[in-house]
């Protein structure tokens, strides 16, 4: 038993895709969330900048003496997880391994598409993760430079002209490609999943990296007897951006009202 909180780190609201699952499957856990919305998209930064910002976010969460930190961000997981594990004693669970395992498990055509931010795709980490799970996969990757920023600004619903136009422009490369599974390698992207399903077809299985990572964290804590033992967990939400904007999207997405605090690192 371990009653310390779980830290959740993202560049913005994308990590809510993990936080939502954590709230559902680990309701007794305290969760401390930090989304660096002021400096997002991390996908527009250099690897060095991503690593520096990730250290700052991790150090902030670590200052609460958390028992584990969920890197609920593909860009951090692919570009900075190794360094964070070297620098901190706290365990970090990233999104890559769990997402790749899930995608490799469900594909029937053995053709998997991966979309993520440019630094995540450039790292090759998702490709290596998938082919490491199964040697017989064909992996088609595509970087979507504008998706995360667009989602953060609230453009993610069916009927939103910008979201529909961008999804059509970026995902055209998957039409007729034979993929049956699309790995959403950026945690902001599941907010676009209905727009993506409308464009690519509902039969294309979408794997959310943030959702799979939350489940992997639950398994990690369960396997080490590190779950909390209390009636109900508390939540602390921090954003470096505008708390009102963050809270508005979070309320819609999580299905309950949250009051974020602003924290600029
Ligand atoms: N949610 C992020 C990810 O999973 C980051 C997007 C960004 O800030 O560019 O990659």
Q: Is the pLDDT assigned to residue 252 strictly greater than 90?
A: no
Shared domain for 38 and 75, answered yes or no, is yes
Centre of ligand 1 to C-alpha 43, Å, is: 6
Tell me the average pLDDT across 65-93. 98
**28 plus 90 within the same structural domain:** yes
Indicate whether 1 belongs to any domain: no
* Same-domain check for residues 59 and 145: no
Nearest to 232 by CA among 33, 32, 27: 27
Tell me which residue has tokens 């509902």: 202
For the segment 89-125, what is each residue's pLDDT rounded down to a tens digit? 999 999 999 999 999 999 999 999 999 999 999 999 9
Structural domain of 137: 96-209
pLDDT score, position 141? 98
Please tell me whether residues 202 and 258 are part of one structural domain: no
Retrieve residue 188's tokens: 């902001």
Q: Please give the tally of structural domains in the chain.
A: 2
Given the CA of residue 40, which atom of ligand 1 is nearest to it? 8
What is the tens place of the pLDDT at every residue in 162-188? Answer: 999 999 999 999 999 999 999 999 999
Same domain, 173 and 229: no
Confidence of residue 20 (pLDDT cuts 50, 70, 90): very high
Same domain, 100 and 204: yes
- Assess if residue 22 is contained within a domain: yes
Rounded alpha-carbon distances, angstroms, from residue 183 to 138, 223, 264: 13, 26, 31
Q: Are residues 216 and 156 in the same domain?
A: no
Q: SS3 for 208?
A: strand
Choice from 80, 94, 117, 147 to test ligand 1 binding pocket (greatest atom count within 8 A of CB)? 117
pLDDT tens for 122-144 read: 999 999 999 999 999 999 999 99
47 pLDDT tier (thresholds 50, 70, 90): very high
Clarify whether residues 151 and 200 are in a common domain.
Answer: yes
Same domain, 176 and 132: yes
CATH code of the domain containing 104? 3.40.50.1860
Comparing C-alpha atoms, which of 33, 258, 249, 256 is closest to residue 152?
A: 249
Residues 147 and 115 in one domain: yes
Residue ranges around ligand 1 (CB below 6 Å): 10-12, 14, 40-43, 73-75, 117, 120, 148, 186-188
* Separation of alpha carbons 187 and 173, rounded Å: 21
């Amino acid at each position: 038993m371990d009653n310390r909180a779980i830290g959740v780190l993202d560049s913005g609201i994308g990590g809510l895709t993990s936080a939502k699952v954590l709230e559902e499957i680990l309701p007794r856990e305290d969760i401390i969330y930090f989304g660096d919305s002021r400096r997002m998209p991390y996908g527009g930064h250099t690897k060095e900048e991503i690593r520096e910002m990730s250290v700052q976010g991790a150090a902030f969460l670590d200052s609460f003496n958390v028992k584990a930190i969920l890197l609920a961000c593909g860009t951090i997981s692919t570009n900075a997880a190794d360094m964070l594990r070297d620098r901190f004693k706290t365990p970090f669970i990233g999104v890559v391994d769990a997402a790749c395992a899930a995608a490799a498990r469900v594909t029937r055509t053995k053709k998997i598409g991966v979309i993520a931010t440019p630094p995540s795709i450039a790292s090759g980490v998702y490709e290596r993760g998938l082919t490491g799970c199964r040697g017989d996969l064909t992996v088609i990757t595509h970087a979507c430079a504008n998706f995360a920023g667009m989602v953060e600004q609230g453009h993610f619903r069916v009927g939103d002209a910008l979201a529909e136009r961008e999804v059509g422009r970026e995902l055209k490369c998957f039409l007729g490609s034979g993929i049956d599974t699309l790995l959403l390698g950026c945690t902001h992207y599941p907010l676009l999943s209905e727009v993506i399903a409308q464009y690519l077809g509902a039969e294309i299985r979408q794997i959310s990296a943030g959702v799979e990572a939350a489940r992997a964290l639950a398994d990690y804590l369960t396997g080490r007897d590190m779950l909390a033992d209390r009636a109900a967990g508390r939540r602390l939400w921090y954003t470096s951006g505008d708390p009102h904007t963050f809270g508005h999207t979070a309320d819609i997405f999580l299905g309950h009202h949250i009051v974020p605090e602003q924290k600029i690192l």
